[in-house]
Amino acid sequence: MLMRAFCLASISMLAPLHAAEISLRGTLQVINCSVNNGKPTDVSFGEAVGVNKVDGVRYRQPMPLEITCSQSPGNLLHLMFAGTPTDFDKAAIATGMNDLGIRLLQDDMPIEINQTLPIDDQLLPAFFAVPVKRPKSQLTGGTFSGLATLMISLE
């Protein structure tokens, strides 16, 4: 125990042999990005969605998204589709029908609602929406709609 105390005391009493200043600097930049020039994106599944044909594959529609930034943010760009997910599919936006949702996809992969997704602004993937139903449910006729907000952030 005395040995440790002696070592610590002798180390703390050492004076530096050389000292040098360190200069730290940088530039803060503001990068502004927008989606579709601030205009809403409307995806229509048409008037003939069959209640017995909703399977998460049929009726798939592209979601045209154009992201423009004042300068390339590179790998800092993140997207999030904010909204109310269904209770049966974390990647599906709730609609006015309990057993029907609208699943969002990046290429062929489901996008979990309210989760950030890293994106390369120079190589945007394709986004799609497709109606899905609760497993083992029977849909009834009627109009449906869902709403999501696309949020972009730089992280």
CATH number of the domain enclosing 74: 2.60.40.1090
SS (H, E, C) the chain: CHHHHHHHHHHHCCCCCCCCCCCCCCCCCCCCEEEHHHCCCCCCCCCCCCCCCCCCCCCCEECCCCEEECCCCHHHEEEEEEECECCCCCCEEECCCCCEEEEEEECCEECCCCCCEECCCCCCCCEEEEEEECCCCCCCCCCCCCCEEEEEEEC
Percentage of the chain beyond pLDDT 70 is: 90
pLDDT digits (tens, 9 = 90+) for 25-62: 887 777 788 888 888 889 999 988 999 999 999 999 99
Let me know if residue 4 belongs to a domain: no
Answer whether residue 20 is part of any domain. Answer: no
Give the number of domains in the chain.
1
Residue 103 lies in a domain: yes
The pTM score is 0.79
Residue 130, domain extent: 27-41+50-137+148-154
Within a domain: residue 18?
Answer: no
Question: Looking at the domain assignment, is residue 95 inside a domain?
Answer: yes
pLDDT digits (tens, 9 = 90+) for 86-115: 999 999 999 999 999 999 999 999 999 999
Domain-embedded: residue 11: no
